[in-house]
Structure 1
Amino acid sequence: MTNDKNLVVSTDGSALSNPNGPMGWAWADHEGGDADAGGASNGTNQIGELCAVLQALRAHPGERPLVIETDSQYAINCSTTWVPGWKKKGWKNSQGKPVKNRPLIEAIDQEIQARPGSVRFVWVKGHAGDTFNEKVDTLARGYATAAGKGEREGCLPIEGWRSLLASPYAKGTQVPSAVKAELDGGPQVLDKLGRKKVGLDQEEQKDLAETAVEAESMEATFPQSPKTRDIEESQTTVTDPGDEAINGTPDPDIADGQEDELAPAFKDTSDTDTADQETKNSGARGLRASGRVRITPPPSGSSMFTGQDLHIVGSIDIDADIDPDGYLTIQESPFRLHAIEVED
């Protein structure tokens, strides 16, 4: 007899000093306590997010309806909204460039199409007290931290390795020798879950959680170092990657709503639900704003700044007097950063 009750699983990806820093992924069931995590010595947050979704799908086959909760709009869109457009265009984006992380996205699509039971994605606000979102974040960061220290071997599905090694952010990645052999056409060493064992036992979950907490305490010890976890490869602006953004609005997800690497206060503070963003846009009543605005602190104030121009997508909260000619003066208005990309 089929259990028609939803099986709910949370997923998350994490990247430290992204891009090209230690990366992790994790999923956790909302019942039974089952969880799994992996990562690599180098990677990006978006690869981590996609690995988490793929591993969750593969670990939960069958007819039971599956609900995947994630704080990544990118992962949701890659798994649903953007895939049909990419297929029609031969896996090219709206700029005619190859879709990033294609091996992972194709694998996710294949798993969803082949699964007898339905699959539904639900966006949750990251780092807002959701028990299972916090759990997968902790597991993913814990594995990323351990992998970066060489305390844990890289653990990704084979599609994750292919996506990572094809990216510009794989420099210095420690790839297990057996995985290298499989990537070179040798015998298969990875099972469907990217490893030879299934899941993490309770002791391993505790160990990764302690590793993540230890890393957090180290960050707090050195406040002059900006937290750079959970940001994405070149921070691709996803206004039209697939080629339709949800409800016609840009993806507000730099990664999972965490600090970017430009400067401590130059960060994503949105975590904006797309529906909320659509409501704000619909209330614009044709109003437009023009002029020069300075965002502080500037990108040049970051130790991670490379000298390249950046393109940003965001919004400014304004509470100010406007004169009859339409001019107003902005004073320290909050800026919500939705996405970043490095200009070529």
Structure 2
Amino acid sequence: MTNDKNLVVSTDGSALSNPNGPMGWAWADHEGGDADAGGASNGTNQIGELCAVLQALRAHPGERPLVIETDSQYAINCSTTWVPGWKKKGWKNSQGKPVKNRPLIEAIDREIQARTGSVRFVWVKGHAGNTFNEKVDTLARGYATAAGKGDREGCLPIEGWRSLLASPYAQGTQVPPAVKAELDGGPQVLDELGRKKDRLDQEEQKDLAETAVESEAVDAEQAESVETTADADNGTPDPGMADGQEDEPSRDLKDTSDTDTVDQDTKNSGARGLRASGRIRITPPPSGSSMFTGHDLHIVGSIDIDADIDPDGYVTIKEAPFRLHAIEVED
């Protein structure tokens, strides 16, 4: 007898000092406490997000309807909306350039098409107290931190290794010797979950969580030196440059299988209907980082404002702390 009840799994990717720092991925069931995680010494947040989705799909075959909850619009679009167009264009993006992370995206598409039960994606607001979203964030960050220190061996599905090593951020990546052999055409060493052992047990999950807490403590100290100041060019709002609603679902997201859920989340993220527009300057800027690649980055973060607002709605921001949640390299 088939269990028609939805099987819900949360996924997340993490990259420290994105886009060329230690990377992690993780998924967690909403029932039974089953979870898994992996990562590499180098990578990007986007690769981590896609690895998490792929591993969740491979770990949950069968007829039960699968619901994947993620705070990554990129992962959802890569798994649903954008794939048909990329196929028609010979895997070229809107600018005519090769689609990044193609091995991972193709693998996700194959898993979705081959799965007996349905697959549906639900966007959830990140860093908003969602229990399972916080859990996978912690596991992914913990593995990224451990991999960066060399305390854990890199663990990605083979498609993740191929995507990472084909990216501009592969320099210095620590690839396990057995994985190198497989990539070079040698015998297969990774199982269907991309691992050489079983999923994380409870002790390992606890260990990664403790590692993540230590990492976050270090980040908190560093964050004290990060300031957000108003760009004083002319004080005139510049529509489209900044949006006060963090993590809002992409306007291009057309996964109609869960349109109502996405719309409701959008409403919840701005319950009073307040929005902010304008241009702000975040310091220190990306150009001051040793890892700066010369490209624009997409960031997700939040600013707590404690200031006066004039009758026309203008607020002058001065040295307000900016909390950085994620950095993504635009495709």
For the aligned pair, the TM-score class normalised by the smaller chain equals 0.7 to 0.9
Residues 1:139 and 2:139 aligned together: yes
Q: Distance in 1 between matches of 2:119 and 2:136?
A: 19
- Local SS of the residue matching 2:98: coil
**Residue of structure 2 equivalent to 1:49:** 49
Shift in alpha-carbon separation, 1:26–1:321, aligned structure 2, 3 A: same
Contact 1:310 1:340 in 2 (8 A): no
Q: Distance in 2 between matches of 1:304 and 1:268?
A: 29
Contact 1:299 1:305 in 2 (8 A): no
Stretches of structure 1 that go unaligned for 5 or more consecutive residues are: 228-249, 253-265, 284-288, 323-327
Q: Distance in 1 between matches of 2:129 and 2:212?
A: 17
Q: Distance in 2 between matches of 1:140 and 1:154?
A: 12
Contact 1:4 1:65 in 2 (8 A): yes
Shift in alpha-carbon separation, 1:331–1:149, aligned structure 2, 3 A: same
- State the 1:219 CA deviation: 2.2
Q: Distance in 2 between matches of 1:100 and 1:7?
A: 30
**Residue of structure 2 equivalent to 1:331:** 316
- State the 1:271 CA deviation: 1.6
Aligned length: 290
- Local SS of the residue matching 1:26: strand
- State the 1:204 CA deviation: 0.5
Q: Distance in 2 between matches of 1:132 and 1:149?
A: 26
Q: Distance in 1 between matches of 2:157 and 2:45?
A: 15
**Residue of structure 1 equivalent to 2:150:** 150
- Local SS of the residue matching 1:139: helix
Q: Percent identity?
A: 75
Q: Distance in 2 between matches of 1:225 and 1:156?
A: 34
- State the 1:297 CA deviation: 3.9
- State the 1:9 CA deviation: 0.3
Shift in alpha-carbon separation, 1:89–1:330, aligned structure 2, 3 A: same
Q: Distance in 2 between matches of 1:113 and 1:156?
A: 22
**Residue of structure 2 equivalent to 1:295:** 281
Contact 2:21 2:43 in 1 (8 A): yes
Residue pairs, 1:73-112, within 5 angstroms: 73-112=73-112
If the length of structure 2 is used for normalisation, what is the TM-score?
Answer: 0.77
Letter in 2 for 1:299: P
Residue pairs, 1:201-240, within 5 angstroms: 201-224=201-224
Letter in 2 for 1:59: A
Q: Distance in 1 between matches of 2:136 and 2:178?
A: 27
- State the 1:103 CA deviation: 0.1
Q: Distance in 2 between matches of 1:307 and 1:167?
A: 12
Contact 1:308 1:342 in 2 (8 A): no
Q: Distance in 1 between matches of 2:2 and 2:85?
A: 34
**Residue of structure 2 equivalent to 1:39:** 39
Q: Distance in 2 between matches of 1:307 and 1:153?
A: 26
Stretches of structure 2 that go unaligned for 5 or more consecutive residues are: 228-239, 251-262
Shift in alpha-carbon separation, 1:186–1:226, aligned structure 2, 3 A: farther
**Residue of structure 2 equivalent to 1:122:** 122
Q: Distance in 2 between matches of 1:19 and 1:83?
A: 23
- State the 1:293 CA deviation: 5.0
Q: Distance in 1 between matches of 2:299 and 2:141?
A: 27
- State the 1:214 CA deviation: 1.1
* Alignment deviations for residues 189-238 of structure 1 (CA, whole Å, 9 cap, x no partner): 001101122210000100100110111122234445659xxxxxxxxxxx
If the length of structure 1 is used for normalisation, what is the TM-score?
Answer: 0.74
Contact 1:219 1:225 in 2 (8 A): no
Q: Distance in 2 between matches of 1:78 and 1:66?
A: 17
**Residue of structure 2 equivalent to 1:200:** 200
Shift in alpha-carbon separation, 1:269–1:213, aligned structure 2, 3 A: farther
* Alignment deviations for residues 265-286 of structure 1 (CA, whole Å, 9 cap, x no partner): x999612244449x99xx9xxx
Q: Distance in 2 between matches of 1:67 and 1:81?
A: 16
Shift in alpha-carbon separation, 1:268–1:96, aligned structure 2, 3 A: farther
**Residue of structure 1 equivalent to 2:65:** 65
